[in-house]
Structure 1
Amino acid sequence: MAMAALRREGKRFALTSPNPINVLRSSLAPSEEQMSLGVRGISTQIVRNRMKSVKSIQKITKAMKMVAASKLRAIQVRAENSRGLWQPFTALLGDTPSVDVKKNVIVTISSDKGLCGGINSTSVKISRAMYRLTSGPDKESTYVILGEKAKAQLIRDSRKFIELSITELQKNFLNYTQVSVLADEILKNVEYDALRVVFNKFQSVVSFLPTTATILSPEVVEREAEAGGKLGDLDAYEIEGGETKSEILQNLTEFQFSCVMFNAVLENACSEQGARMSAMDSSSRNAGEMLDRLTLTYNRTRQASITTELIEIISGASALEG
């Protein structure tokens, strides 16, 4: 009798539900309405997968922080030593960013890689502001870009004003010889009255200062010296040897530009590693906070499912006793 009743119930279930396995799966899977109710509708498997992803991201950010810290220690000493190269030129030829010239070339130094805070955006903002200040009806301003990140930003609205673009600058170990070749390449391809180098000067791991260095052409230096301006003291020096004053100024200008470029590239690379180290430290802390929240959600979800199962067991036992 009992077996016959079970067979009748099985036939009735088969007639009302063509695929009972799909019905069972759909009843167990949480719906969107259940997901929106809170922790009770969230699957513990989803939370575990999310926790696993956050842990992987945290490992990557911690590793990137350690790599940036090791690179920073290697570059910082070289950047500090390179400051003594361009300081004598500042004392001799001066640094006059307010000089009024017709042809301005803005040399923007940035990084090739991201995840280093806002140092590249800061360089681009300073370069655009410099372009607006130095451009006019009878003036001409152009860009020379070093680094992929500044190129990607400036090419959007200033493509026709970019004369030269150089990327992958920090792919190899930089020394003065390589930077001097790069500076010579820039001088050969651009016509200028003033070169304005925009870079980030390293101060500490969490601080960098946007800086602009101005290098004047030999003609402008001679004109300013004769006018008795800030470069008027240049005529106080005596020239020995067979070279003329214009030839000496030409050599001094080229040497000054290569020294400023060498220091600017190292300072910007040092700022990049410091900013990346700080950014990865913040990312690791944020990942840890997210992991704590996910752990709390997982525990609540698991506790809710256990409580539901206990209620069902107790309710079934009470029904059997009654």
Structure 2
Amino acid sequence: MFARAAAVAATAALPAAAAPAQQARNMATLKEISVRLKSISNIAKITKSMKMIASTKVTRAQRTMEQARVFGEAATAILKYVEVEPKKDNVVVVTVSSDRGLCGGIHSSVSKATKRFLAANPSASSAILGQKAKSQVQREYRDNIFLSFDGVTKNAPTWFEAALIGDAILSAKPEYESASIIYNRFKSVIAFETESLSIPSVKSLASAPKLAAYEYDDDLLKNFEEFTIANTLYWAIAEGYASEMSAKRTAMENATKNAGEMIQKLTLTYNRSRQATITNELIDIITGASAM
């Protein structure tokens, strides 16, 4: 009889002992949810601001890109008609990237294209614009990199900047046979495509079948080579800059949307947990009042 009474008493005391522990767990959970909710709200404010900044830069980048396309297409138009034979020896590949992140896989696309190019041409030399692509390419092809540039397109791209880069490449590799520029071509606000542009050297231009029929000075071809590299680099950098700003805007928009969804879920979880805590406290109060 005493054993049965002790068991009943222990059973009655168990919920009373477990209630404070459960209440403590609920309070800790509520605090954790509240802290996380606040941090995600702050992140959503930051991503929304970055989206607005990227949206402003996209419009300006598109205007610069349209101007650069005129330069680039005019410089490379003659190459379609002189029938320059592609060279596979002493080739230079220029990768157009930047130093900034938070823009999706836009840097990985040009890095993968560069790796495929170097795998097909093991003796090719690589010049990389931007730290993002350099950090990815140098893991496998460090020895192929002969030149790299930092701080490219920190602001809007300019023709003078492209001309300086082209001059540095020509000074480092004056005896190259052909050059390929790998960049991201702007398609739309939500789409881009990784492409490459081929630029022949002075020797390749001089040996072109249709160009040999004209009379020209050697200095003219050298000037044309420098002019073509500067214009093509300006075109590629402007295209890549516009693609990067569009990708950054899309990434920040998706991040803001995901943060909003997480805030809604955490708010619902917080309200449910808070309501459950209040209900448990009311049950404890009513149970204590009934026992008295």
Task: Say whether the fold is shared (TM-score over 0.5).
Answer: yes
**Alignment counterpart, residue 76 of structure 2, candidates 90, 93, 105:** 90
- CA deviation vs aligned residue, 1:32-84 (integer Å, no higher than 9, x gap): xxxxxxxx575211111110000000001001111111111111111111111
Counterpart in the other structure of 1:6: none
Structure 1: which amino acid aligns with 2:106? I
* Alpha-carbon offset, residue 94 of structure 1: 2.6
Q: Select the structure of larger CA radius of gyration.
A: 1
Structure 2: which amino acid aligns with 1:57? I
- Check conservation: 1:92, 1:234, Cα contact below 8 A: no
TM-score normalised to the size of structure 2? Answer: 0.87
1:299 and 2:282 correspond: no
1:266 and 2:238 correspond: yes
CA distance in 1, matches of 2:104, 2:85: 30
Counterpart in the other structure of 2:200: 216
**Alignment counterpart, residue 179 of structure 2, candidates 177, 195, 213:** 195
- Aligned identity (percent) is 38
TM-score normalised to the size of structure 1? Answer: 0.79
CA distance in 1, matches of 2:155, 2:27: 53
Structure 1: which amino acid aligns with 2:204? V
**Alignment counterpart, residue 38 of structure 2, candidates 28, 49, 52:** 52
**Alignment counterpart, residue 58 of structure 2, candidates 67, 72, 95:** 72
Counterpart in the other structure of 2:157: 174
* Alpha-carbon offset, residue 291 of structure 1: 0.6
1:127 and 2:114 correspond: yes
DSSP 3-state at the match of 1:156: helix
**Alignment counterpart, residue 248 of structure 2, candidates 276, 288, 294:** 276
DSSP 3-state at the match of 1:215: strand
Alignment of 1:222-233 (within 5 A): 222-223=206-207, 225=208, 232-233=209-210
- Check conservation: 1:42, 1:301, Cα contact below 8 A: no
- List 4+ stretches of structure 1 deviating above 6 A: 25-28, 95-98
**Which runs of no fewer than 5 residues in structure 1 stay unpaired?**
1-24, 31-39, 226-231
**Which runs of no fewer than 5 residues in structure 2 stay unpaired?**
1-19
Structure 2: which amino acid aligns with 1:111? S
**Alignment counterpart, residue 234 of structure 1, candidates 201, 204, 211:** 211
* Alpha-carbon offset, residue 98 of structure 1: 8.0
CA distance in 2, matches of 1:46, 1:147: 40
* Alpha-carbon offset, residue 127 of structure 1: 0.6
- CA deviation vs aligned residue, 1:213-242 (integer Å, no higher than 9, x gap): 01011111222x1xxxxxx33245454xxx
